[in-house]
Structure 1
């Protein structure tokens, strides 16, 4: 089956801990308000949201043959996500410390190195037939960037809390037709979006949390959307869902304003779940 969207990037097994406040950098003790384990990883989140929207999607992710890897693979399969698994030296794992207000510290417990490329032939064939490619921030997608560019397919990237200067993000930014980020560390998000359009992107989007999102299109026109009001259960995966909603709508021919509204609706659905997407609710409880 030809996938409309091919995503390369992280799928992880995460431990989530809810606290009344994020820990201060001094020795102390805190009691958790809640905790659970679930699937994580920005690429898994995007794949789940696109699958939930009915978009044909294939996720290329890495996992080791260990217990966390088995859990991730089983959960995504049960949720209906089409995957092409590469063999990682470890399975990615995170410990996320969070507050009810949405503040978060993500501790990376393990992260796989890039592979030797043994799955590249099939992956390149998948990418060459796709309508769009998503490459997320990780070692394997970084290795795959030249091959992705060689296909001529549109490349969408999510640089998350980029600060405007970090070198690691630069190859992803330079390859991207569409760029997403959040405003956490950018001194002037709108100026950054305009700079990426000037550099060649056709769309640049910055999410603003409860304030919605702002986008700049290829003609340097600015667009804004408000967040959909919702009772928040967990913020993990909301940005990935917003990204997926915008991408899905754009592939259906929607203009930027309609696509941003689709992204906001997609994010609101994920905010009601304690998993990356409601598709996992029946799988993981």
Structure 2
């Protein structure tokens, strides 16, 4: 199996669990617990794919600081091959407020680096050798997106909470063969999915959090997948990336799209029961056990 090349998205986050999001007035908030953990969409996808034994290479941008070293160490311990572009700026950092219902309010306390120098020989070599490039919607990834298009590499992208019209996403939409997105800001998500298919996308998957997910393909098929229930939500960070990774794992095995959706839902369910971006119990057999039990 050729590796998946995941491009973009690494941060060091402070996770703060609260009973409810604080109101917009001066106050002191006491958390139930808090901790620091690696975050962002590229790391989340890479860790989950690696746990499912999918060969994966991650390109990420980190600073020469403690946070950057923590990200490098986490990737190395997980066995993820990483191409790191080091920036003179601090490593991206977020503060994520989390509620018991799995809601998240993410505050960028250190934005993504603006000064990024790409090492093109390793990037081109990885693009030529990969089966799929998963290119995340960051500004620094745009030149890599263009290179992937020029090389004819199949491209998957995750638009996250796209609102259906934000110009920031358009280059990624134009380049992608497969699009994932969430319905948080899309009350008309089916219309947006139809529009994406009309633009030539082969497959569009829209997630709805606890309400499951919807898939539409170029053949005109629509599939619905409920979320698998869990006994508790430990931390919903990374659930969307785990869902994406579970689907891609099934796709790479040549499974029908219905089976891919089930694996995706199982992966997402497993993720929210863990405090990490990928559950310490994530594995091929763990996903199959969840699917088989339903």
Query: What TM-score do you get using the length of structure 2 for normalisation?
Result: 0.91
Greater mean alpha carbon deviation, residues 217-226 or residues 155-164 = 217-226
Distance 2:276 2:239 in 1: 10
1:186 maps to what in 2?
Answer: 186
Structure 1 residue runs of 4 or more that deviate by more than 6 Å after TM superposition = none
Q: How far apart are residue 143 of structure 1 and its match?
A: 2.7
Is the Cα–Cα contact under 8 Å of residues 8 and 41 in structure 2 kept in the other structure? yes
What does the per-residue CA deviation read over 1:120-147, in whole Å, with 9 as the maximum and x for residues that have no partner? Answer: 1111111111110001121221231110
- Matching of residues 61-80 of structure 1 within 5 Å: 61-80=60-79
1:133 maps to what in 2?
Answer: 133
Distance 1:157 1:187 in 2: 21
1:257 maps to what in 2?
Answer: 258
Distance 1:75 1:227 in 2: 29
Q: Secondary structure at the match of 2:206?
A: strand
What does the per-residue CA deviation read over 1:139-194, in whole Å, with 9 as the maximum and x for residues that have no partner? Answer: 22123111011121210100100111111011111111111111110121111111
Greater mean alpha carbon deviation, residues 201-210 or residues 102-111 = 102-111
Whether 1:207 aligns to 2:227 is: no
1:12 maps to what in 2?
Answer: 11
Aligned residues: 279
2:225 maps to what in 1?
Answer: 225
- Matching of residues 1-285 of structure 1 within 5 Å: 4-88=3-87, 89-110=89-110, 111-113=112-114, 115-117=116-118, 119-230=119-230, 231-279=232-280
CA, structure 1 residues 140+280, in 2 after alignment: closer, same or farther (shift >3 Å)?
farther
Any gaps of 5 or more consecutive residues in structure 1? none
Any gaps of 5 or more consecutive residues in structure 2? 283-294
Distance 1:279 1:195 in 2: 38
Q: How far apart are residue 220 of structure 1 and its match?
A: 2.3
Is the Cα–Cα contact under 8 Å of residues 114 and 139 in structure 1 kept in the other structure? no
Q: Secondary structure at the match of 2:262?
A: helix
Is the Cα–Cα contact under 8 Å of residues 212 and 225 in structure 2 kept in the other structure? yes
Is the Cα–Cα contact under 8 Å of residues 85 and 117 in structure 2 kept in the other structure? no
C-alpha RMSD of matched pairs (Å): 1.5
Is the Cα–Cα contact under 8 Å of residues 4 and 57 in structure 1 kept in the other structure? yes
Q: How far apart are residue 58 of structure 1 and its match?
A: 0.3
Greater mean alpha carbon deviation, residues 21-30 or residues 233-242 = 21-30
Q: Secondary structure at the match of 1:273?
A: coil
Query: What TM-score do you get using the length of structure 1 for normalisation?
Result: 0.94
Q: Secondary structure at the match of 1:278?
A: coil
What does the per-residue CA deviation read over 1:252-283, in whole Å, with 9 as the maximum and x for residues that have no partner? Answer: 111211111111111111111111012499xx
Is the Cα–Cα contact under 8 Å of residues 15 and 37 in structure 1 kept in the other structure? yes
